[in-house]
Amino acid sequence: MNTRPKNGTMSSLIFDNRFTRELPADPETANRRRQVTGACYSRVYPTRVAAPRLVAYSEETASLLDLSVEACESGEFTQVFSGNDLLAGMDPYATCYGGHQFGNWAGQLGDGRAINLGEIINQRSERWALQLKGAGPTPYARTADGLAVLRSSVREFLCSEAMFHLGVPTTRALSLIATGEPVERDMFYDGHPKEEPGAVVCRIAPSFTRFGSFEIFTSRGDIKVLKQLLDYTIRTDFPHLGDPSPAVYLRWFEEVCRKTADMIVEWMRVGFVHGVMNTDNMSILGLTLDYGPYGWLDNYDPDWTPNTTDAAGRRYRFGQQPQIAHWNLAQLANAIYPLIEDAKPLQQALDLYVECYHREWKSMMARKLGLSAFEPHTDEALIAELLSILPSIETDMTIFYRRLSSMDTSIESLASISDDALISPLMEAYYVSAQVTREYKAAIGHWLRGYIARARKDNTSLETRRLQMNAVNPQYVLRNYLAQESIDKAEAGDFSLIHDLLDLLRRPYTEQQGKEKFAEKRPDWARHRAGCSMLSCSS
């Protein structure tokens, strides 16, 4: 048995690599674009880069790997996590998977620019897969170069860590490294490509297995490898379910449904929009995976999507994310059907997703409103009324709920208070003052009166209610314009805002002195600017 160094150095990373040990490999070793059959992965090495420079790293993520600050700030760390060097025990590979993209089967996709370095077991016996994104082409790169630009890499690095600290299930980001090499991208897909600085992100997760990892083998009729992959997944990531069998496959699918429901509820709680919920971007662990054209709601708009590719159909808009997750789970059910051959229990598991989602969403909304529990006879209508009012004018979602916690719910003589007086604590949340008309004030005033009356029934003190609400309604999120400002600075060689945001977002529910500007509404200049309003998939 290996004796693990306990000094937090790079040599303390002990690689287990169970994925490559136990699952079938692509017999071809040439790194050329091709269809890969009968295999879960292809071995491939990262592409060396000219002048890697550490931009930022997450101390919290490093601690999951037992790495010290000194190790993360070493030259060896930069060389390894830029893809230039390999540590003893690393076994780099790219995985094979398929997926439904925008509702259509896309065939083989795979890790086109993600290269897994291997899996480590930390001192707490936790398994973590280490993956470089933007480290060069793989057999799954199709016509792409396998690289990533600083622009998208900053967004992935910051958002991974921001989501974790918000309490949203997510993959994690260890490091962001500039490569010192230009990468050509056509950001707007308008025939005007330009060179941008390149970068590599190292992200980690217990597993990067996706819904599409199973779909690809079923689509090809390769039931043997499908079973191998599912058996491996259960034994490695779901050992509590027992030895693989048709009954355990069903229990596994039920758990995936529950974990997915939990994740989507958390997205809806904080106003996160994934932007590209293809089945190849859905984690079987219920983790937020692949931060592409994501965004946060500024003004509450259930029809908003951050993805320019989705602008016409808005398939992946904020308000439809729960339904899309259900559709994606149905595709996963189709993929594992050959191992079960009984549609009824699979449908029951899909119904379980719907049940879990609605139950947890109602509970979450009650917490956002500072209610002790969801009471159907009053709260169904209360929440429905609020969600019909919020999009009627431009209302900042994050600020609205945060300011709602300061509402005085001890008021007894509601009839004697004017709408203007009631709404005054919320005025900071509105983008266009002219939209706050008499009619709007009457609508929100009516809701606030009902809300205050409902809150008073809980007999919760004002301070307790405020603390409870502020524990689930963040003061700070990674607003789209803040991410873009950090990118603008980084492309000019100034990484300070990346570090400021990383530090800020470690405590998203706590008001931080001197950080008031980060909690402000989207400035008007950012309303339609690329990167601040919508993004393309170009990265």
pLDDT digits (tens, 9 = 90+) for 355-374: 999 999 999 999 999 999 99
Is 346 among the domain residues? yes
pLDDT reported for residue 6 = 53
Specify the number of domains making up the chain.
3
- Identify the CA nearest to 476 among candidates 445, 521, 431, 421: 521
- If asked whether residues 443 and 408 sit together in one domain, one would say yes
- If asked whether residues 318 and 431 sit together in one domain, one would say no
Categorize the per-residue pLDDT at 102 as very low, low, confident or very high, splitting at 50, 70 and 90. very high
Categorize the per-residue pLDDT at 539 as very low, low, confident or very high, splitting at 50, 70 and 90. low
Half-sphere exposure of 218 (CA within 13 A, CB side): 20
75-79, 193-197, 213-217: lowest mean pLDDT where? Answer: 193-197
The runs of H, that is alpha helices, within 196-287 are: 211-219, 223-237, 246-270
Q: What is the pLDDT of residues 405-439, one digit of tens each?
A: 999 998 888 888 999 999 999 999 999 999 999 99
Count of beta carbons in the 10 Å neighbourhood of residue 182: 14
Categorize the per-residue pLDDT at 2 as very low, low, confident or very high, splitting at 50, 70 and 90. very low
3-state secondary structure of 388: helix
pLDDT reported for residue 382 = 98
- If asked whether residues 52 and 191 sit together in one domain, one would say yes
CA–CA dist 347, 415 (Å, integer): 50
Per-residue CA distances from 473 to 266, 288, 451, 468 (Å) = 11, 19, 17, 9
As annotated, the active-site residues are: 280
pLDDT reported for residue 535 = 81
Among 470, 500, 526, give the residue marking a domain's end. Answer: 470
Angle, alpha carbons 160-231-215 (nearest 5°): 65
- If asked whether residues 198 and 270 sit together in one domain, one would say no
Categorize the per-residue pLDDT at 1 as very low, low, confident or very high, splitting at 50, 70 and 90. very low
Is 478 among the domain residues? no
Sequence length of the chain is 539
Is 333 among the domain residues? yes
6-10, 167-171, 268-272: lowest mean pLDDT where? Answer: 6-10
Query: DSSP string covering 53-96, please?
Result: EEEEE-HHHHHHTT--HHHHTSHHHHHHHTTS---TT---EEE-
Give 392: exposed, middle or buried? Use CB within 10 Å, 0-12, 13-18, 19+.
middle
- If asked whether residues 194 and 157 sit together in one domain, one would say yes
Return the DSSP state at 513.
T
CA–CA dist 106, 114 (Å, integer): 18
- Identify the CA nearest to 96 among candidates 160, 142, 136: 142
- pTM of the predicted model, to two decimals? 0.96
CA–CA dist 318, 499 (Å, integer): 28
pLDDT reported for residue 4 = 43
- If asked whether residues 317 and 383 sit together in one domain, one would say no
Count of beta carbons in the 10 Å neighbourhood of residue 259: 18
- If asked whether residues 136 and 189 sit together in one domain, one would say yes
Is residue 27's pLDDT more than 60?
A: yes
Q: What is the pLDDT of residues 425-477, one digit of tens each?
A: 999 999 999 999 999 999 999 999 999 999 999 999 999 999 999 999 999 99
Is residue 7's pLDDT more than 70?
A: no
- If asked whether residues 127 and 272 sit together in one domain, one would say no
- If asked whether residues 33 and 110 sit together in one domain, one would say yes
Among 165, 181, 208, give the residue marking a domain's end. Answer: 208
Quote the domain boundaries for residue 358: 221-288+302-367
- Identify the CA nearest to 202 among candidates 30, 67, 338: 67
pLDDT reported for residue 206 = 98
